[in-house]
């Protein structure tokens, strides 16, 4: 193993502090240059400088690496958008000024900081409200808005799989599943949606091996393909991803146990270029997705999220939302740099 693997926590923290300070200085210098241009220019002599949109960001190091890629920052600079790192060791109100705050951090302390900031800085757009984010971090409440919507029109029907929440006592799971009338196999997911691992339970006995708190969802055959629907404000982008393969009745009778899977929809190979049956590969109708996204933006109070959607195998128009993720991996979304920067400009322009 290389030296990188042996860095201490203090060492990593110091490096991150240096990076944050460098970005903060860079931001201040850029803003200072723009301010200087404003002071030195007069009407009729020089064109007015581009208005800088300052986006303060508080993201995990992993999210910074995947999202704030050089191409995004370059396109943003050309459009007059400046990303500035928020220093979490200093009061948020003492930093900026920001036009937009972009965040994805966990913890009640950070939630309180953001809520206070939103109250005292109503002119700053916070993406997104902490309480709205918490709603989709809980898989018990995550899909309620989709179920309540019960969307059905000429383009198709969108629902959610039948599911059951188990908070404790694994030994009670088989009886609870019977009482709820759920059919095997069942997909087991952690109740808190910060983990993307899932398990597939094939038989009643194996249900006792699961570890609550969790959500059990009926597994719906969907041709081994799911659709990741990325939403950035009003923009929608859909990509195909390989998913769990269908389970036939003979397989269900033959298999037993609990099979664990990592992040299934983040499999290395995208399904966009695969040679698939057209009935499996066809994307959900655009009008249906636009209607669904519009309703969920309103109900969830979020502008940055994605939906994992499957089409029931053998059906042309029956869809299920199986997961909702806040501020997903946009780096995997085609053309995300232009879509995201245009979104930020639209927010700044609407003030």
Q: Which positions make up the binding site for 1D-myo-inositol 1,3,4-trisphosphate?
A: 63, 104, 196, 228, 325, 329
What distance in Å separates the CA atoms of residue 195 and residue 217, rounded to the nearest whole number? Answer: 16
Binding site as annotated, residues: 63, 104, 139, 189, 196, 217-228, 243, 308, 323, 325, 329
Residue 334: both structure tokens together: 């085609």
CA separation for the pair 286, 109 (Å, rounded): 40
- Per the structure block, which two tokens stand in for 300? 């969830």
Helices 336-349 & 70-78 angle (0-180, nearest 10): 40
Hunting for tokens 């249906």 — which residue is that?
288
Report which of 217, 216, 202 is spatially closest to residue 170, judged by C-alpha positions.
Answer: 216
How many of the other CB atoms lie within 10 Å of CB of 297?
16
Write out the binding residues for Mg(2+).
Answer: 308, 323, 325
Residue among 137, 93, 133, 138 nearest 113 (CA): 93
Q: Is residue 218 a contact partner of residue 161, using CB atoms and an 8 Å limit?
A: yes
Separation between Cα atoms, residue 77 and residue 27, nearest integer Å: 11
Binding residues for ATP: 139, 189, 217-228, 243
Closest CA to 328 of 57, 62, 36: 62
| Cα dihedral sign, 101-105-108-110 | negative
Q: Residue 335 CA to chain centroid, in angstroms?
A: 16
């Amino acid at each position: 193993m290389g030296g990188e693997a042996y860095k201490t926590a203090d060492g990593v923290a110091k490096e991150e502090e240096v990076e944050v300070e460098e970005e903060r200085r860079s931001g201040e210098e850029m803003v200072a240059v723009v301010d200087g241009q404003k002071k030195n220019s007069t009407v009729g002599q020089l064109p007015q400088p581009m208005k800088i949109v300052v986006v303060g960001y508080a993201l995990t190091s992993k999210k910074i690496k995947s999202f704030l890629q050089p191409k995004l920052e370059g396109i943003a600079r050309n459009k007059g958008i400046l990303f500035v790192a928020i220093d979490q060791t200093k009061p948020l109100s003492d930093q900026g000024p920001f036009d937009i705050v972009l965040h994805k951090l966990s913890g009640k302390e950070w939630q309180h900081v953001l809520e206070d900031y939103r109250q005292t800085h109503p002119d700053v757009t916070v993406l997104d409200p902490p309480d709205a984010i918490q709603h989709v971090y809980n898989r018990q409440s995550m899909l309620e808005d989709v179920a309540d919507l019960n969307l059905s029109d000429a383009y198709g029907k969108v629902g959610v799989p039948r599911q059951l929440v188990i908070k404790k006592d694994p030994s009670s799971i088989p009886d609870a599943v019977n009482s709820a009338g759920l059919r095997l196999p069942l997909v087991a997911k952690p109740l808190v949606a910060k983990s993307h691992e899932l398990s597939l339970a094939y038989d009643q006995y194996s249900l006792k091996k699961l570890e609550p708190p969790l959500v059990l969802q009926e597994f719906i055959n969907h041709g081994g393909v799911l659709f990741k629907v990325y939403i950035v404000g009003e923009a929608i982008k859909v990509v195909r991803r390989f998913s769990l393969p269908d389970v036939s009745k003979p397989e269900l009778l033959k298999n037993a146990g609990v099979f664990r899977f990592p992040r299934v929809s983040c499999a290395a190979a995208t399904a966009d270029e695969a040679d698939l049956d057209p009935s499996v590969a066809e994307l959900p109708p655009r009008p249906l997705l636009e209607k669904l996204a519009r309703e969920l933006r309103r109900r969830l109070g979020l502008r940055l999220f994605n939906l994992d959607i499957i089409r029931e195998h053998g059906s042309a128009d029956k869809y299920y939302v199986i997961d909702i993720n806040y501020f997903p991996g946009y780096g995997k979304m085609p053309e995300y740099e232009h879509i995201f920067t245009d979104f930020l400009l639209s927010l700044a322009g609407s003030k």
